[in-house]
Structure 1
């Protein structure tokens, strides 16, 4: 069966690059009307142009920092003012940090939790009434760092563990209202986030990925489209009775502790 989101309004946060960009592009291919949120206006415009080229539907873009109350409020208000409804909320925006308790500080903790937990909590809170009205659904982007314990994944792993439990709690609360809530948990995935937190050159990053591949049971790291396909599946009617699920897309990495490759980034 073909997956279609014709006349559906989909909000994707963190849509200016990486996994968020891939999610936006796949929803565009499926005919969705998009609200794209990010902090980099130029990147958002570029992604929006690529989305519009799929089906001729121009996305609505919002430049906002979702770690702030103002950013969440602007995102919710502007999306509903522009479209009048919301069918799917994809909470993808997030930041990472590679540190451990012996060298960390509270700014790192606050930065990660403000975006990865508080921002998701706040934006979801603001948009739940609209999702109840549309009988829509929510897909959160988590990480296997929330379940695989590894030195160097603090406080990012803590934040993703919190997001997983948030998913289950809100799924239970909203199920009687007809709103489904699920999460996709990527493993080692090609994106810019590792380069940002390590300062790796492109060559260093590619070497790191090749080393990472050897830790994945299926022998390949994920790309953004792998994650996007699962997001779209969970958001579609194909998953109409799926809620409270945390779905790993990782080539089996969570079974072998392969994320210990991240510990190499701790100085």
Structure 2
């Protein structure tokens, strides 16, 4: 798998799956456009990519829930590289809560980040991806494939992402654009801590994940990154419209 001279735009690239994906694509020779809100973290990721891939990534500090920032991300990428081959929609947040405890503000925050911003960025990217017969990878979740209590807005947002993926695959297939999603299970990142879990609760959650994942452990970001790269590569040239679990079998269990 090689991405020499391929331009790859990754959102949420400053940490977790996005950061691991950036580093892995750098090792495959990609030209990277890295978007994130945390400038310090994004610089660290970019420096690591440069040391591995010997090519300096484009860094774009942006909040893609803001329309002007989303436009700037696409405009900056095209101005710098003149083209786009792969779009990886990864930026996302998690909010806990049920129908009784999730406020409209929380609901809007989750959907604006996990769905609306992806719709907008993808809409802007499609004209350029048509020219390159490019690919789109959406980083969804096992929560899009099955239901979990206490994560209502997040579950709904990831189900929307999975439907978004399938619809785009149908709409863009005739234009030779492939669209797929990866659906990770529990991955060791900062996502759950940012949703409000303290260190002790988070550690217990990871320990419990050993029982809920048939492979007996949570995953790591690099495992998701390698799957993303496969789906974006020519090795997956006849794959589109797929919501692919990368979850150690979590989607197949009934355990909570």
State TM-score, norm by structure 2: 0.98
Contact 2:209-2:216 within 8 A present in 1 as well = no
Deviation sequence 1:44-96 (CA, Å, 0-9, x none) = 00000000010210100001111111121011111001100000000000111
Partner residue of 2:233 out of 229, 236, 248: 236
In the alignment, is residue 207 of structure 1 matched against residue 231 of structure 2? no
Unpaired runs of 5+ residues, structure 1, are: 261-267
Contact 1:148-1:257 within 8 A present in 2 as well = no
Q: CA RMSD in A?
A: 0.9
Which contiguous aligned blocks of 4+ residues in structure 1 show a shift greater than 6 angstroms?
none
Pairwise CA distance, 1:191: 0.6
Pairwise CA distance, 1:205: 2.3
In the alignment, is residue 105 of structure 1 matched against residue 103 of structure 2? yes
Deviation sequence 1:21-47 (CA, Å, 0-9, x none) = 010010000000100000001100000
> Could you tell me how far apart the structure 2 residues matched to 1:211 and 1:57 are?
41
Partner residue of 1:193 out of 191, 194, 216: 191
1:92 matched to which residue of 2? 90
2:56 matched to which residue of 1? 58
1:4 matched to which residue of 2? 2
Partner residue of 2:71 out of 70, 73, 80: 73
Pairwise CA distance, 1:103: 1.1
2:249 matched to which residue of 1? 252
Unpaired runs of 5+ residues, structure 2, are: none
1:27 matched to which residue of 2? 25
- SS for the counterpart of 1:155 is helix
> Could you tell me how far apart the structure 2 residues matched to 1:125 and 1:43 are?
27
State TM-score, norm by structure 1: 0.94
- SS for the counterpart of 1:70 is helix
In the alignment, is residue 218 of structure 1 matched against residue 189 of structure 2? no
- SS for the counterpart of 1:10 is strand
> Could you tell me how far apart the structure 2 residues matched to 1:52 and 1:98 are?
36
**210-219 or 19-28, which deviates more:** 210-219
Pairwise CA distance, 1:208: 2.2
Deviation sequence 1:166-215 (CA, Å, 0-9, x none) = 100011111110110000000011110111112412x5423321121111
> Could you tell me how far apart the structure 2 residues matched to 1:149 and 1:89 are?
27
